[in-house]
Amino acid sequence: MSPPIHIAPSLLAADFSDLRTELASAQDAGADRLHLDVMDHHYVPNLSFGPPVIAALRAHSRLPFDVHLMVTPVEPLIEASLRAGADRISIHPSTAHDLGAVIAAIRNGGAEPSLALKFTEPIAPILPYLHDIADVLVMSVEPGFGGQSFQPAALEHLRTLRAHAPDLSLSVDGGITLETAPAALAAGATTLIAGTSFFRARNRAQMIVALRSCSTPS
């Protein structure tokens, strides 16, 4: 039996002047999770928002919050993200001084730990941690900005990770559209993180249904 497909709209593509309404729209459209990108203009060349914004939004949604920390060093924002209401925290291994300790801190704080991996980075360094985490987030674009094109090199990462961990949640983020989602799902992704394609859709509920229907039989 195939695992369920989860759709997580990425708030980075939302209307920042009306985030509360955008949050409600994602929930009403049938999203499974909300993806929140925290950027520090250091690890990535962009600055987004941080734990205070996440905490402000937390009271207005039932959706699980997936917080993707694109910051270095990552340790100072773990506790703040937990307090803000993160249900899952994704970190890039290179941003942690002690990766095992950070994974443990996330889990001990009551959230699911996830490791984020760029499509250009090797998989081998994260393999020893697959049994300690809830998810791997494969970046199918260079992290930092929304609206980029999906990079097919990410598909091999998904296939390799699925072979190593048949039951692990695998998320994919970057350039997810109705055209690119089928290949990502066929390669092993179980969560599609959709930013521009969701928030610019004329009918967001229909977009979520369409993305879920992109799965192809194995």
Q: Catalytic positions, please?
A: 37, 173
At 76, list the tokens.
């100072």
Angle at 129 between CA 74 and CA 135, to 5 degrees: 75
Q: Nearest CA to 92 among 112, 114, 108?
A: 114
- Alpha-carbon distance of 56 to 22, in angstroms, equals 14
Under 8 Å between Cβ of 117 and 153: no
Angle at 211 between CA 205 and CA 217, to 5 degrees: 140
User: What are the angstrom distances between the C-alpha of 125 and each of 64, 92, 105, 218?
Assistant: 28, 11, 20, 28
At 64, list the tokens.
């699980």
